[in-house]
Structure 1
Amino acid sequence: MNNYLKLALLASAITLGSVGAQAHRQWLLPSATVLSGTDAWVTVDGAVSNDLFYFEHFPLELDGLSVLAPDGKAAAVQNQAKGRYRSTFDVKLDQPGTYKMMVLNQGVFANYKLDGQNKRWRGKAEQVATEIPANATDVKISETQGRIEIFVTSGKPSSDTFKPTGIGLEMVPVTHPNNLMAGEKATFRMVLDGQPAAGLPIEIVPGGIRYRDKLNDFKATTDESGTFTVTWPGPGMYWMNASIEDSKSKIKDAKRRAAYTTTVEVLPQ
């Protein structure tokens, strides 16, 4: 595969949250999802790969990384590093409750013509008015709102970190994401800009793709309240993804692509 094709596939995965059988998937993977004790730490790996959860393509960019502690305040990220195939960071869980760790990818892409020449631009939404020339023609603008997140609990689970920000596509757990059991049903709710995301397809893929012949993915669809349910077929780590394209960007005449990805652990009964 040449470098141009590799870059094209990566861009497609980042922008659209692609979920095909051979798609490059973005993910975060914690060393543990439930911990106890007064000196608990978690190490998180991040990558973009074909095989979940195997490092073989690109490290996940962590420019938009943040961690929300159980009390709603930002928690410190330590030992952040970027390797050839993966990125990694540590978080000390110095509070009891559930942490939300997330990587946000928000930006604007534009294609236009200026004096007969094709131009491309990438930046932030607030820069569009000043960065794209007023005499530009054939302007096409797309806004990306991507969110990759995981939940990790120290001691007793909490739910304060579940509150949505109201920006883009988000998951609001009904069943606690650190209390998932094989064979049991779990319920989640998807919201778009804080409102129920109805009719949204969800793709769910169990890890370990590298060691089986079939993807073994399955799908769910949100109802009118944005809610969907999953009955876990077995224990392990699962990747869940949803994406949507609409015209609700705050930028005039722009398309908006919103994507959400999470990794959850399902334990045996």
Structure 2
Amino acid sequence: MNKFNKTLIALALAGATFSAHAHKPWLLPTSTIVESRDNWVTIDAAISEGLFDVDHVPLKLDGITITGPDGGKVDMQNVANGKLRNSFDLKLPKPGTYKIALVSQNVFASYKDKAGEMKRFRGNEETFAKDVPADAADLKVSRTQSRLETFVTTGEPDMAVFKPTGVGLELVPVTHPNDLRAGEKATWRFLLDGKPAANQGVSLIPGGVRYRGTLGEIRKNTDANGELSFELPAAGMYMVSSSWPAATPSKPGQPPQMPARRASYAATIEILPE
């Protein structure tokens, strides 16, 4: 397999729903319900093979935004950059729910230059318009929109931070993600560009795969309204994730086809004991 085909495969996998062996980015709070007097929480950020295992590389904190219950932005504090993970502290000055999010939009392209040599591009819309000729031969373009989130609450949970942006794949919960208990039912709604994401595959995976030896994935599809319900499993930290469109099998000897657009969503949630 040549180097170009390997690159296409890597890019295709970048937008796929998390699997047992793919490297996964994640944000992991020390707790999603903060009841201490000072209301501090620490967030770890990494990319790993085992979900929530610190075994690969840190996740860059550039681009992370923190939204408070009143819609205002909150700053990271005591940022620490490590070899395997990065982390920061977060002060929760007001009661309610806070959203920690890393949202990115990228453009991938392949084309032939005037000499007939195959070129590859990865960047944003601005650099794409600047660096890739509009009349390039054999131009193939794929755009990705990814959203990585987690939520923490002090005091009573509220829904203010879940107002959808109308761009990409988003979670608009019916059951608050900081109000989950084992054995109860949770209902979530997914939107794609502000509209119900019907028949959308959603995965729920617990951390601690290395101790179980199995992935432990629960997978369901949304209904026509973009909603689905889970009976919540055992207490612990989980990742809920989804990717659009669904992956299509590649032909033997050929790299996976890159759709014109991909959207992905992932969030860390905590299920509390009964």
TM > 0.5 between the two? yes
Moved more, 103-112 or 93-102: 103-112
Question: Is 1:192 matched with 2:197?
Answer: no
Question: 2:251 is matched with which residue?
Answer: none
C-alpha separation in 1, matches of 2:29 and 2:9: 22
Question: Is 1:216 matched with 2:179?
Answer: no
Moved more, 36-45 or 217-226: 36-45
Question: 2:73 is matched with which residue?
Answer: 74
**Greater strand proportion:** 1
Question: 1:250 is matched with which residue?
Answer: none
For structure 2, the residue ranges without an aligned partner over 5 or more in a row are 247-258
State the Cα distance separating 1:65 from its structure 2 match.
0.5
- Kindly provide the CA deviation profile for residues 135-170 of structure 1, in whole angstroms up to 9, marking residues without a partner as x: 311111111101000110011111100101111111
* Correspondence list, 1:83-232, <5 A: 83-115=82-114, 116-232=116-232
Question: Is 1:263 matched with 2:263?
Answer: no
Question: 1:55 is matched with which residue?
Answer: 54
Residue pair 1:37, 1:155 contacting (<8 A) in 2 also: no
Change (3 A) 1:191 1:16: same
State the Cα distance separating 1:38 from its structure 2 match.
5.0
- Kindly provide the CA deviation profile for residues 200-250 of structure 1, in whole angstroms up to 9, marking residues without a partner as x: 00111111101012111110111111101111121111111100139xxxx
- The one-letter code of the counterpart of 1:199 is N
Change (3 A) 1:266 1:94: same
State the Cα distance separating 1:13 from its structure 2 match.
8.6
- The one-letter code of the counterpart of 1:33 is T
- The one-letter code of the counterpart of 1:164 is P
Change (3 A) 1:12 1:181: farther
What secondary structure does 1:35 align onto?
coil
Residue pair 2:17, 2:242 contacting (<8 A) in 1 also: no
C-alpha separation in 1, matches of 2:53 and 2:12: 16
- Kindly provide the CA deviation profile for residues 74-112 of structure 1, in whole angstroms up to 9, marking residues without a partner as x: 111112232111121111000110000001121111111
For structure 1, the residue ranges without an aligned partner over 5 or more in a row are 247-253
Residue pair 2:121, 2:128 contacting (<8 A) in 1 also: no
Moved more, 45-54 or 140-149: 45-54
What secondary structure does 1:34 align onto?
coil
What secondary structure does 1:133 align onto?
coil
C-alpha separation in 1, matches of 2:20 and 2:110: 29
What secondary structure does 1:122 align onto?
strand
Moved more, 140-149 or 46-55: 46-55
Superposed CA RMSD: 2.3
Question: 1:42 is matched with which residue?
Answer: 41
TM-score with structure 1 length normalisation? 0.89
- The one-letter code of the counterpart of 1:264 is I
Aligned residues: 258
C-alpha separation in 2, matches of 1:203 and 1:51: 16
- The one-letter code of the counterpart of 1:81 is A
- Kindly provide the CA deviation profile for residues 153-199 of structure 1, in whole angstroms up to 9, marking residues without a partner as x: 01111110010111111100110111100001001000011111000
Question: 2:255 is matched with which residue?
Answer: none
